[in-house]
Structure 1
Amino acid sequence: MSGEEVSRSPGTTLDVVRRQNLTQVLRLAHRDGPISRAELTRATGLNRSTVGGLVSELRARGLVEESEPHPTRKVGRPSPMVVAADDTVAIAVNPEIDAVDVGIVSLGGRVIRRVRYKNERIPTPTEFVNIVSAIVDGMRPELDASYRTLGMGLAVPGLVRREDGRVLLAPHLGWREAPVSAILAKVTGMPVVAGNDASCGVVAESVFGAARGVDVVVYLNGGASGIGGGIAQGGTLLMGAGGYAGEYGHTLVESAGAACHCGAIGCLETEVRRDALLRAVGLNDADVDRLPAALALAWREPDSAGAREVRRQVAYLGIALRNIVNGLNPRRVVLGGFLATLLKVVGEAGIASHLGVALPGARYDVGFVAATLGQDVLLVGAAEMVFAPVLEDPTLMPLELEPATV
């Protein structure tokens, strides 16, 4: 059965059909672009004329662009390439204890510009708002001249209430009941959405990175402020009843461990820490970009402080991963931030060897991979929250031009 036949099931109207088909085409251009009209025709099951009309309307709404087709030796006119519009953008923000990152991210997941503001101290919610608004003000001439900005997305290392973006608790930042989304919306005049940073990461890696096409994915992000987690199934983020699912940084891994900000003892993020790795190889926060090379070098010397710290942290990480594997049976676990560095140092087999008594079925199903989006992952995920309504219903964007006749 074709995509058109599926769309025209009883109870649907022509407007609903059109929106569904626009959504199909836009999502493909967003995720897979540049993609030819011919490929869109095959992927959607729609006929060529219908796809041409949909692309024309999406262009008129400023959501896609077309470029010259790639050269081909095939007979006939080659199909134009369709890509998500690079001038339709979101502002993406990631606050951390050491820095605040602000980026301009295009529809299609490209980080066009990135500004990193290094904190002299951990910012309060008010200081954070001031930092972001100042950076955005500096971007205004560029934004106004070159882009259509749909809003701002915040990837926050903490508990974020789903319905209003209020930060209930970001322990390492020291934020409690912080309405930063509402304040930023008022100050900047933009719609603002917020979510947990690792939940943003799993969305980004599922759409553009190491988890594309994977049915059940868990993402663990290791940052300056700790470890967060996100879960996706079938490309859909699993958030839990209140939006707080995936807090694997607070998995118990050491019953005699250190006290955690959450009030418990021996959480994963108290035992597996970036600052401990930096100290073990003689670096500090300012040298964080040198950490992967330093750990790789230390790993060659089994008795070095760096190698011992890697082994210690990987053992604790394995305990948490065993619980994840047994509880969720994921197809893939994606490790980001300094956890990706640990994976690259010891290898997938080195991680898997610490799963211990993980149940055999789930253990054999799972693979461990490093995040592929690197330092862009959280900004891309934050932007996806902004783009989500338009990707769901492209008709939310007004027609800027009359659609061309196909």
Structure 2
Amino acid sequence: MPESGVATSGRVPSADVANPAAATPPIAVVGTKGNNLDDVRRNNLAAVLGLVHTGGAVSRAQLTRETGLNRSTVGALVAELVNLRLVDEAEPTTTKQVGRPSPVIMPSTRTVALAVNPELDAVTIGLVGLGGRIIKRIRYDTIRIPSVEEVVNIVSAVVAGMRDELDAHYDTVGIGLAVPGLVRAGDGVVTLTPHLGWRNEPLSQMLQDAIGLPVFAANDASVGVVAERIFGAGRGVEDLVYLNGGASGIGGGIVSDGRLLRGVNGYAGELGHTLVNSAGVVCHCGATGCLETEVRREPLLQALGLDPTEGDQLEGALLAAYADPDRVAPEIAAVVDRQLAYLGVALRNIVNVFNPKLVILGGFLGALSEIAPERIEHAVATSAMMGPRDDVSTVRAALGRDLLIVGAAELAFAPILADPASVERVLAG
């Protein structure tokens, strides 16, 4: 499952503004920044909104401390964000501090984004609020691998069914699309999704034309690493790698020095195609022994006695099988041992090449790591180079099944987080 950068379609800012790295926890911007007063105002609004978005509920006093701005300036910025319906302000319910309690600023319950994740066996659509709050999730199971046209039809039908609710209660700023494949950074074209069989498909533009909202697209592992860094196990970590195992193979997302690694066309980070077995089988990419050909969901499903359509039960079934490690069925242990061995090779390569502080494993890879954390740690400690291995940790993704929906929504929120006042133009169409 290849890694990609971000792409946008239609009525959106530039691709640079829509970069998921822009949605990572911001550095507070003080009043001296910017080329003119408008820049200063925009940057300070973005800093305050970003802190509320990532913090969930932040007092005015906290915003004052973290931005370095004075109280009156913070108060004016909060008032503007309230007027834009991006944050809500309330008095604290309890306080132990002496004096007047500081009002609490929270992400608005009204501003939302739609998130879409097409897969081999389903299309998942989510409604997500600022702060990463999932309001609604709809999984539409498909009887076959969906075509691009079928994905557009499914999403259109779901959104049409939600239209009255959206119009009455929410301000919808856009659609984020998490694709299990290559997405071209410049125009949102899905260049290749090997497992879905898509090539050069303008899915972003098709969705925008059908629904009438700006669409932002990226590889699913890219949005996964962004979500984990903002709200999950990688919160605040500047150098991390996210590796996910799902129905469409294995994908990777890389954050280096606080920035999402994208590459010239947005295709960087194809960690599923790391060589782990020189005597392995031929991958769809043409190489031999890629990680995603040696570590796959299907053998695990078969060993656990699950049908291919029961992939959403894999992680729970795997953990249940290892509830008593001394009584694991031999056929399950054999598959798990083999996959852990090759995953260890991939982690060695990742640690040596990227020198991350943290490696986050998601999907069925997260379940594998949870049942045998000592195997993962041993593989890195004994095979990765001294130096890169010294300060790295490996953890399971914290957001679980919410991860891709939250991450996809961040694509749509990113332009608003970068320039909060632009929400009026976006909503006006």
Report Cα offsets for 1:314-356 as digits up to 9, x if no partner: 1101111111100000000011111111111101x22121234
Partner of 2:389, secondary structure, is helix
After TM superposition, the structure 1 stretch with the greater mean CA deviation from structure 2, 301-310 or 23-32, is: 301-310
In structure 2, the partner of 1:73 is: 96
Which residue identity is paired with 2:109?
D
Which position in structure 2 is the counterpart of 1:8? 32
| Other structure's SS at 1:137 match | helix
Q: Is the Cα contact below 8 Å between 2:315 and 2:363 reproduced in 1?
A: no
Q: 1:7 corresponds to which letter in structure 2?
A: G
Counterpart of 1:84 in structure 2: which amino acid? P
Q: In structure 2, how many angstroms separate the alpha carbons of the residues matched to 1:258 and 1:302?
A: 27
For 2:377, the equivalent position in structure 1 comes to: 352
CA distance in 2, matches of 1:81, 1:350: 45
Match of 1:258 among 263, 269, 281: 281
Contact 1:151 1:386 in 2 (8 A): yes
| TM, length-normalised to structure 2 | 0.89
Q: CA deviation at 1:287?
A: 3.4
- Give aligned-pair identity as a percent: 58
**TM-aligned CA deviation for residue 135 of structure 1:** 1.1
Match for residue 60 of structure 1 among 65, 69, 83: 83
Contact between 1:298 and 1:304, CA under 8 Å: does it hold in 2? Answer: no
Superposition pairs of residues 7-406 of structure 1, within 5 angstroms = 7-8=31-32, 12-299=35-322, 300=325, 301=327, 304-347=330-373, 349-355=374-380, 356-398=382-424
Q: Distance in 2 between matches of 1:137 and 1:385?
A: 22
What is the alpha-carbon root mean square deviation over aligned residues? 1.7
Q: How far apart are the structure 1 equivalents of 2:384 and 2:98?
A: 55
Match of 1:121, as an amino acid? R
How far off is 1:68 after superposition? 2.6
Aligned residues: 395
User: C-alpha distance in 2, partners of 1:296/1:209?
Assistant: 21
Q: Which amino acid aligns with 1:39?
A: Q
Structure 1 residue 258: deviation in Å?
1.7
Q: What secondary structure, in the 3-state scheme, does the structure 2 residue paired with 1:264 have?
A: coil
Unaligned ranges ≥5, structure 1 = 400-406
Structure 1 stretch displaced more, 25-34 or 234-243: 234-243
Question: Matched residues in 2 for 1:156 and 1:197: separation?
Answer: 5
**1:251 positional shift:** 0.8
| Cα distance between partner residues in 2 of 1:50 and 1:152 | 32
> Quick check: 2:53–2:131 contact (8 Å CA) kept in 1?
yes
**1:81 Cα deviation after fit:** 0.9
Q: Give how far 1:137 is off.
A: 1.1
Q: Find the residue that maps to 1:265 and give its secondary structure.
A: coil
- Distance in 1 (alpha carbons) for counterparts of 2:178 and 2:274: 21
Instruction: Give distance in 1, aligned partners of 2:258 and 2:169.
Output: 31
Task: Provide the C-alpha distance between the structure 1 equivalents of 2:265 and 2:237, rounded to a whole number of angstroms.
Answer: 25
Using the TM superposition, give the Cα deviation of residue 62 of structure 1 relative to its aligned residue in structure 2, in angstroms. 1.1
Residues 245 and 364, structure 2, Cα contact 8 Å, conserved in 1: yes
Q: 1:13: how far off?
A: 1.7
Relative to structure 1, the CA distance from residue 297 to residue 395 in structure 2 (aligned partners, 3 Å threshold; closer, same or farther) is closer
Distance 2:377 2:188 in 1: 36
The 2-side partners of 1:67 and 1:220 are apart by 39
AA in 1 matched with 2:375 = G
Q: Helix, strand or coil for the counterpart of 1:362?
A: coil
**Is 259-268 or 86-95 further displaced after alignment?**
259-268
SS in 2 for 1:202: helix
User: Counterpart of 1:384 in structure 2: which amino acid?
Assistant: E
CA distance in 2, matches of 1:181, 1:234: 29
Cα distance change on mapping 1:319 and 1:48 into 2, 3 Å: same
Instruction: Tell me the secondary structure at the aligned position of residue 322 of structure 1.
Output: helix
Question: Counterpart of 2:348 in structure 1: which amino acid?
Answer: R
CA distance, structure 2, for counterparts of residue 109 and residue 393 of structure 1: 18
Pick closer, same or farther for the CA change 1:297–1:45 going to 2, 3 Å.
same
Q: Per-residue displacement from partner, 1:46-78 (whole Å, max 9, x unpaired)?
A: 111111110000011111111231301322221
Change in 2 beyond 3 A, CA 1:296/1:304: farther
The CA deviation at 1:289 is 4.1
C-alpha displacement at 1:386, in angstroms?
0.7
Structure 2 portions without partners, runs of 5+? 1-27
Q: Which residue of 2 aligns with 1:403?
A: none
> Deviating runs (4+, > 4 A) in structure 1?
none
| Contact 2:52 2:105 (C-alpha < 8 Å) held by counterparts | yes
Distance 2:331 2:222 in 1: 33
> By how many angstroms is 1:291 displaced?
2.6
Structure with the larger RCO, 1 or 2 (CA within 8 Å, 6+ apart): 2
Q: Residue 336 of structure 1 aligns to which amino acid in structure 2?
A: G
Instruction: Name the CA distance, whole Å, in 2 between partners of 1:235 and 1:37.
Output: 26
